[in-house]
Amino acid sequence: MYKIYVFSLFLTYSALSSISDEFQFDGQEFWDDESRNLCDDVELDTTWQWEKAVCFEYFWNYQAVKMEVIAWRPGLVIYRDLFTGKQANGTQIIAKDFPAALSIFNTVKNLMPNLDFKYAEDIVALSYHPGGHYATHHDYLEYPSEKEWDAWMRNYGNRFGTLIMVFKTAEKGGATVFPALGATVRPNPGDAFFWFDMMGDGSQEDLSEHGGCPIYEGRKMISTIWVRTKKQPILDNLLTPGSISARFLIPGTIKLNKN
């Protein structure tokens, strides 16, 4: 049974909630102007105009999966309407009865066959309140030396990719920004999005830097699964050491491992 770790990020002192220029929040010094603008100015988000941005459906396990490619290399994709209304009602993920979490995990595992979730980290649930944010960072883990590796790193390798599942969106704010890609992900409840944290040679994917934009009004509820490198079929099918393409997430493009 997978565990859920629940965290809540919120404002530690009062703030104005009219416009982002007036909104003061703890930790705002860690945000540069470019990233904040991508968060707040919808006009700067032109990903839908990109020539290579596409939306399509594939069928797997008798279900249709709607996949939206924001960036091909490195891959950044959104899975639209992945979860049922009951799964994405904003309460199931923080319930104490973990069968709710297992239902969500099984949906992900069954509909994304090119990712092996067997050695993924436990689900982390995050609840963001007004002023809550997560400044830009990488999920790839770096250690001073191999002597500093923890049990996860020794047994399962580094973080291969990140999957964020969305269960509630804020009234204002709360997008996820990728400054190096010039992209902003604005999902709906029931969506999930995935990106690669490393390159084909196992080094950090610098273009995957991302941040959870500040919440101005309302509440955002998400859960994160970090997928580790151990037995990832995509890595077994790569021919180049560079950024990993989103095409490897499409069923039928790679040879899957036999479990």
| Domains of the chain and any CATH numbers | 4-249 (2.60.120.620)
| 3-state SS class at 35 | helix
Return the pLDDT at 99.
Answer: 61
Gap between the Cα atoms of 101 and 91, Å rounded: 11
In the prediction, which pLDDT does 179 show?
Answer: 95
pLDDT of residue 84: 75
Q: Can you list the residues of the chain whose pLDDT is less than 70?
A: 1-22, 48-51, 86-101, 258-259
Provide the token pair at 55: 């939306």
Looking at residue 89, its pLDDT comes to: 66
pLDDT of residue 98: 54
State the Cα–Cα distance between residues 126 and 10, nearest whole angstrom: 11
221 - beta bridge partners?
127, 168
If you ran DSSP here, which 8-state letter would residue 113 be given?
T
